[in-house]
Amino acid sequence: MSPSLAINARYQVRRITGVDRYAHEIAKRLTLSKRFINPSHPLGQVSGHVWEQFSLPSHIQRDELLWSPANAGPWSVTRQVLTIHDASVFDHPAWFRPAFAAWTRLSWKILARRVKAIITVSKFSKQRLKHHLGIPDEKIHVIYNGVGDPFEPQPTKCIKNVKEKLGIRKPYFLFVGTIEPRKNLNHLLEAWEQANISSHDLFLAGTEGNVFPISEKQLALSSHIPDEDLPSLYAGATAFVFPSLYEGFGLPVLEAMACGTPVITSNTTALAEIFSDAALLVAPEKPVEIKRAMQTLLEDKSLAGNLREQGLRKANRLSWETSAVRTQSLFESLI
């Protein structure tokens, strides 16, 4: 008997970002019969889309349901579930390179009419996608992201080793994410300069997104961190600061919480929806609020401890196992 689920695994041959981590974590936990279809080698943006539109469909068997987990899928395959993580290419097209934004908007409009179902990762994203794509309510399903191993509180020795490896000599506030306009690093850096916290450093961990314009200043301050070092980097931080302007979910926030790190994040978009009960919220467009939040966590140890505990509870409630069970239930209803 042939597998019932085919997975568009283009994500397996590229550097892992939040979208790709979601695909990896959900796919490996699905227990129904499945198989992965992926390119034989890494592809660029254009060649990747060509493979997805023209090569991938030829490998799908007649009775299979295709899952495309990373914001893109073949137009010709109607027996398909597509995961779209947010609607930023519609809400903020200037944040992207014009060709990428135009292609993605066109592709989503075509796919939204043709696929069996769409998964997204927050109520905020569902409302924005419904607004832009005219998707019926019953066709779009909210399934929150999750977190799990290896993101958990780390032993002191592991934290010490990673700090030495990365040359971190002082206590630090941490940002982790793709370096792109929505991450709001200009306001974070402005807030840091205003705060003038000489006892700490600000550590930016991320890589340049290949579909986003970026300033040289932001790129010069960023560092790519190997996946195996991330849990200890999170756990060793005084606080995780993520004042993003727009998020469909905000996976780094949940990862930081799972590692026992107090979080400062934005009071907007999906961040407020998902994390308002476990983080210190700020207006991301106001550097003075970001500054005050960092200073407050340094001065108020009780607040920092409460946020640490609330974050761990949040992480315990949002697991990849729960996300995978809900995702598989949707697939089984369509197969």
Instruction: Categorize the per-residue pLDDT at 133 as very low, low, confident or very high, splitting at 50, 70 and 90.
Output: very high
Give me 313's structure tokens: 């509870």
pLDDT at 212 over 80: no
Model pTM? 0.92
Q: For strand 172-176 and strand 201-205, is the pairing parallel, antiparallel, or unpaired?
A: parallel
pLDDT, tens digit (0-9, with 9 covering 90-100), for 228-249 = 999 999 999 999 999 999 999 9
208 and 112, same structural domain? no
Beta strands in 104-170 (DSSP E): 117-120, 140-142
Burial 81-105 (b: 16+ CB within 10 A, else e): bbbbbbbbbbeeeebbeeebbebbb
88 and 25, same structural domain? yes
69 and 172, same structural domain? no
Instruction: Residue 174: give its domain's CATH number.
Output: 3.40.50.2000
Beta strands in the chain (DSSP E): 5-8, 34-37, 65-68, 80-83, 117-120, 140-142, 172-176, 201-205, 222-223, 239-242, 263-266, 280-282
10 and 95, same structural domain? yes
- Count up the domains in the chain and report the number: 2
- Of 44 and 173, the structure prediction assigns the larger pLDDT to 173
Instruction: Categorize the per-residue pLDDT at 216 as very low, low, confident or very high, splitting at 50, 70 and 90.
Output: very low
Is 151 inside any structural domain? no
pLDDT, tens digit (0-9, with 9 covering 90-100), for 298-314 = 999 999 999 999 999 99
Structural domain containing residue 73: 5-146+320-334
Supply the DSSP symbol for 11.
G
Instruction: Categorize the per-residue pLDDT at 220 as very low, low, confident or very high, splitting at 50, 70 and 90.
Output: very low
User: What pLDDT sits at residue 141?
Assistant: 98
User: What value, to the nearest 5°, has the Cα angle with vertex 203 and ends 201 and 205?
Assistant: 175
pLDDT, tens digit (0-9, with 9 covering 90-100), for 76-103 = 999 999 999 999 999 999 999 999 999 9
User: What pLDDT sits at residue 42?
Assistant: 83
209 and 197, same structural domain? yes
86 and 46, same structural domain? yes
User: What pLDDT sits at residue 174?
Assistant: 95
